Structure 1
Amino acid sequence: MTGKRQPIQVLLVCSLLFPLAAIARAQGAHPTPEVGVGAQYDTTHVYVAPEDVDKFVASFLATFGGQSTKQVVATVTPTPSSTTSQLLQTPVGTVSLFGFKTPIPYPFGAERTGYLVSDLDEAINLARDSGADVIVSAFPDPIGRDAVIQWPGGLNMQLYWHTAKPSYAPFETVPENRVYLSPERADAFARSFLRFSHGKVVSDNAHAAGIEIGRAKDTYRRVHIESVFGKMAVFVTDGHLPYPYGREMTGYEVKDLHGTLAKAKASGAAVLVEPYTADGRVEAMVQFPGGYIAEIHATAPK
């Protein structure tokens, strides 16, 4: 079949802002346990080859500032494996960095984030009751316990709990978990995550500018959610995404985008998408040594 491609908004029908907002209010009337701790305890999981670990660390910290915890070699899965492990803490987001020396056991490597919870068993039960699938049941790690869950739409997250309670300073700017979902599963995901996180829908735009997903002539649906776990942007698309859209996991907010990009390039990162303006901010896409792709943005000048 030939002919002009229809804009994405025809495929996505309409925004469901009011139903999602109503769901969040209804859940507030029937409270579930609050298991989140704070956005500064939530990390993006980054896996790179062992030979790229030091290059990634140097580039990421040179770009955003901050520091790394001491690198250790550990088993962080419930079955035998070995990886370097360290935490990169910056003012705009935290990375849990893994450089596996062995093959990576399934399904590890597919989880996007690690969320600290106050009680792992309670969090697992709440996730399950909220519609998530527990794909890796609770297991011990060197400093606590973990589990991996999967939300409607196939989004994997790791939940973790520390034996010794951590204490981290809040971020200067809270990073954005960037999630790409189909029209068929986006609302099921949002309902489940809102129940689990006690979150709220900040905006639900059925006609967001397509330039945000590399399709300047189209529009698409974008949902912003905020919770104790931080910010989340849900991109509802037909999956016709030019590279690198959909490959980035996290968006980092900085004060000076052009200055940050200059630091990134000087430290070995590559700018994949040059800065553009949309939704009141200037955005770009960067790939760090080892392959990790990130969105970086700043408030657009008025």
Structure 2
Amino acid sequence: MRLLQLTAALALFAASATPQPGWSRDAAPKDFAVGAQYDTTHVYVAPDEVDKFVESFLSTFGGKSTKQVVVTVTPTPSSTSSQLLLTPAGSVSVFGFKTPIPYPFGHERTGYLVTDLDAAVRAAERAGAALLVKTFPDPIGRDAIVQWPGGINMQLYWHTAKPSYDALQTIPENRVYVPAGRASDFVKSFVRFSKGTVVSDNAKAPGIEIGRPNDSYRRIRITSKFGAMTVLVTDGVLPYPYGHETTGYEVPNLDDTLTKAKSAGAALLVDPYVADARRSAVVKFPGGYVAEIHSAAGK
């Protein structure tokens, strides 16, 4: 009888100690972010357009480029030129593949530097992300690609030698387009992983922000140590170029920046407009990279 009681007690203890579906002991995961200046937008450009893109982007935002190298940055055989553009408004990783690009590379929007790659991947999975590409080595560290609810791909990476970059003058925003049916899941998962905060959730944001001035849509803004994020919740009916821009860059004066961009070969796709206390425009740089640029309203 005592043996049966002891067995039942142990079973009860094991059940209470085992995380149940929808619950984890890691309710407040560690903050793996390093800083927004270490998070880059991934830009894939044809090899013969890399130099034109780099020159145009730096002429627009200022800053500098690291030395261009030709390396393998994927877990399967490939070859690409690679360089990092460091600007006061945000950092960009530029890839000019000389070989076909292995899937799913080219579909990830950003690279986030983390303090511990293996632990960060586990935390992302616990938060609801899927591991799309398992951890693999690159010439300067290790990487993995995760996919968040809504089909948003992001690369997590770790450097063997700890980098040191200047703080940004303005924080770029990761512009994430998600369908209405997955928006809540995406926000819940990413906020949990990033230890971020939902700054605003506007169910009636002005549709001019997505090229539909007669409509409204849901816009969610998130901030974390990884930087800023704007979640654009839409029905997918988007006029060009909306949905192609993955990053929004804040600048002191929009008109001055657009003048520099056009002089450097960029095309103005969306004329400046005012919404949500900012003036915004959309441009396309040589090589095809589309970006939103904004400043405070009146600047």
TM exceeds 0.5? yes
Partner SS state of residue 184, structure 1: helix
> What is the alpha-carbon distance in structure 2 between the residues aligned to residue 217 and residue 120 of structure 1?
44
* Deviations 1:214-234, CA, capped at 9 Å, x for gaps: 000000000000001000000
Which residue type is aligned with residue 289 of structure 1? P
* Deviations 1:95-141, CA, capped at 9 Å, x for gaps: 00000000000000000000000000000000000000001000000
- Equivalent in the alignment of 1:71: 68
Which residue type is aligned with residue 50 of structure 2? V
Partner SS state of residue 223, structure 1: strand
Question: Following TM superposition, by how much is the alpha carbon of 1:301 offset from its aligned partner in structure 2, in angstroms?
Answer: 2.0
1:173 to 170, 174, 188: 170
Task: Map residues 15-54 of structure 1 onto 2, 5 A cutoff.
Answer: 30-54=27-51
> What is the alpha-carbon distance in structure 2 between the residues aligned to residue 79 and residue 252 of structure 1?
33
- Equivalent in the alignment of 2:229: 232
2:220 to 206, 220, 223: 223
> What is the alpha-carbon distance in structure 1 between the residues aligned to residue 27 and residue 189 of structure 2?
14
Which residue type is aligned with residue 256 of structure 2? G
% identical equivalent positions: 68
Which residue type is aligned with residue 238 of structure 1? D
> What is the alpha-carbon distance in structure 2 between the residues aligned to residue 146 and residue 291 of structure 1?
26
- Equivalent in the alignment of 1:182: 179
Which residue type is aligned with residue 108 of structure 1? F
Structure 1: which 4+ aligned runs deviate by more than 4 Å? none
Partner SS state of residue 174, structure 1: coil
Which residue type is aligned with residue 191 of structure 2? L
1:205 aligns with 2:202: yes
Pick which of 30-39 and 56-65 moved more: 30-39
Partner SS state of residue 104, structure 1: coil
1:129 to 126, 130, 133: 126
Gaps of 5+ in 1: 1-26
1:97 to 89, 94, 97: 94
Q: Label 1:56 to 1:84 Cα distance change in 2 as closer, same or farther (>3 A).
A: same
Which residue type is aligned with residue 297 of structure 2? A
Question: Following TM superposition, by how much is the alpha carbon of 1:273 offset from its aligned partner in structure 2, in angstroms?
Answer: 0.3
- Equivalent in the alignment of 2:260: 263
Which residue type is aligned with residue 81 of structure 1? S
1:151 aligns with 2:174: no
* Deviations 1:253-282, CA, capped at 9 Å, x for gaps: 000100100000001000000100000000
* Deviations 1:66-121, CA, capped at 9 Å, x for gaps: 00000000000000000000000000000000000000000000000000000000
Which residue type is aligned with residue 283 of structure 2? V
Give the alignment's Cα RMSD to 1 decimal.
1.3
Aligned residue pairs: how many? 276
TM-score by length of 2: 0.91
- Equivalent in the alignment of 2:6: none
Question: Following TM superposition, by how much is the alpha carbon of 1:32 offset from its aligned partner in structure 2, in angstroms?
Answer: 1.1
Which residue type is aligned with residue 245 of structure 2? E
> What is the alpha-carbon distance in structure 1 between the residues aligned to residue 166 and residue 45 of structure 2?
27
1:108 aligns with 2:105: yes
Point out the structure with max Rg over C-alpha. Answer: 2
Which residue type is aligned with residue 170 of structure 1? A
Question: Following TM superposition, by how much is the alpha carbon of 1:48 offset from its aligned partner in structure 2, in angstroms?
Answer: 0.4
Partner SS state of residue 257, structure 2: helix
Question: Following TM superposition, by how much is the alpha carbon of 1:30 offset from its aligned partner in structure 2, in angstroms?
Answer: 3.8
Gaps of 5+ in 2: 1-23
Q: Label 1:169 to 1:126 Cα distance change in 2 as closer, same or farther (>3 A).
A: same
TM-score by length of 1: 0.90
> What is the alpha-carbon distance in structure 1 between the residues aligned to residue 138 and residue 27 of structure 2?
34
Partner SS state of residue 153, structure 1: coil
> What is the alpha-carbon distance in structure 1 between the residues aligned to residue 27 and residue 291 of structure 2?
37
Which residue type is aligned with residue 241 of structure 2? P
